[in-house]
Amino acid sequence: MTPPAPSAPPAPPAPPAPLLARPVALDAAVPLRRPMLRITTCGSVDDGKSTLIGRLLLDCRAVPEDQMQAVVETSRQKGHEQVDLALLTDGLRAEREQGITIDVAYRYFDSPSRRIVIADAPGHEQYTRNMATAASVADLAIVLIDARLGVSVQTRRHTLIAALLRVPIIVFAVNKCDLIGYDRATIERIGEEARQIALSLGAACVHVVPIAALHGENVARPSASTPWYPGPTLLDILDTAEPERTLPADLRFPVQHVVRPRSDSHHDYRGYTGTIASGTLRPGDRVLALPSGLESRVRDIHLHDRRLDEAHAGQAVAITLDTNIDVPRGETLVSPDAPSPPPTPATRIEADVVWMDAKKLTPGARLLLKHTTRQVKAIVESIDCRIDLATWEKAPADELGLNDVGRVTIRLSAPIVADTYAHNRATGACVLISEQTAGTVAAAMITRLLED
């Protein structure tokens, strides 16, 4: 982040940009169907996530005039000296009363060249599970850091979760720089500490941007208050980021539903619906259903009322097979002709978990494991380690508490067709569910498939 020293003494901080500054220009020549970028924001409570999102929405002309006027009026009624941009995203009444975000709020807006979906994830440690949910599908994570406080334990926790979930790009936004007089040494020290944390966790692409979200400094426009920072604005990064989206070529088609119409005209019809997790599917392709081991060929592929010659990862389709084999929900279709051998169904796995329940996880715990469209009973054989969020060391542990991150070994009552999370995010992820409450208690990323 450290650029060459300026040739002249830095100018004094410029006055903050007006709240209702002229919005960024959107290129009228850009087609209506724009590429999409999924973003999650995270960080500690009061680091300014909701305010940052409000600023982005405002500067990108995504706030209707009547909504903005309502926010201005509400801010005035509360006695705020400035308009509270967080009100644009903190929609729940409980959030407004407490001044915290307790749910994941999704907002949509257009940058100059793309469509952006941004998730305002909770900062409070109690709601770490919500942050993990938002990060699991993100292309980019914005981790906010209060310039007055520096890197916190929650900053480390959220960075670790983003790295475990293989979010391709991590952007550290050092916020509230105006409250420390845009002090270069402090901001660069915080930025370098955060950068080294992300790199040590294996992050592939890391950016650091000094901002003042309330005033829009370095958010959508460069700030005259940071002449020593020649880098891109936050919006520039969002507009040009190219996250690695390479998916495995291996076919993975988890069957979600078996379609058997009850009519005389369709008495022999048997279709299989689901979303292709990875790979490509064509009529005539040989497919192997796992874990049953039955084999057939694809006869037809349908998307709504259209017949497809080819289907790709991410498409929800219905297929029919040449032979009338029994492929129930929870089976996964793979290709026996792929260069790599078909996966071996596993009944024991090793996984990194983010524990999300107040009741501690201990060896012997009986849970349900939900993987793609399959749900099986599970027993935690062992807790192999817990990750210390201050040192990143893996320490021996005999339990995991709320919001702890650790590695566990799990035995399953029936086999699942899985990959490691590093190889395939879709088939390497699963969740653990309480048998008593039916609530999700952990997010898990498979690190190894173990032999019995």
pLDDT of res. 127: 60
Tell me: domain 36-240, CATH 3.40.50.300, correct?
yes
Rg (CA), the chain: 25
Q: CA-to-CA distance for 329 and 256, rounded, in angstroms?
A: 5
pLDDT tens-place string over residues 162-181: 998 889 999 999 999 999 99
pLDDT tens-place string over residues 382-430: 999 999 877 778 999 999 998 889 999 999 999 999 999 988 988 999 9
Kindly give the parts of the chain with pLDDT less than 50.
Answer: 1-2, 4-32, 92-102
Percent of the chain at pLDDT > 70 equals: 80
Domain ranges of the chain: 36-240, 253-334, 346-450
pLDDT tens-place string over residues 50-97: 889 888 888 888 776 766 677 667 767 776 667 666 666 655 444 444
Q: CA-to-CA distance for 205 and 191, rounded, in angstroms?
A: 14
Exposure of 221 in the CB half-sphere (CA atoms within 13 A): 19
**C-alpha distances out from residue 185 to 139, 181, 182, Å:** 30, 11, 9
pLDDT of res. 412: 98
Q: Fold match between 253-334 and 346-450?
A: yes
Average pLDDT along the chain: 84
CATH number of 346-450: 2.40.30.10
Asked if the peptide bond before residue 291 counts as cis, ω within 30 degrees of 0, the response is: yes
Asked if the peptide bond before residue 4 counts as cis, ω within 30 degrees of 0, the response is: no
Has this prediction a pTM greater than 0.85?
Answer: no
Percent of the chain at pLDDT > 90 equals: 53
CATH class of the domain defined by 253-334 = mainly beta
The number of helix segments (H) and strand segments (E) in the chain equals 7, 23
Bridge partners of residue 349, in order along the sequence? 410, 449
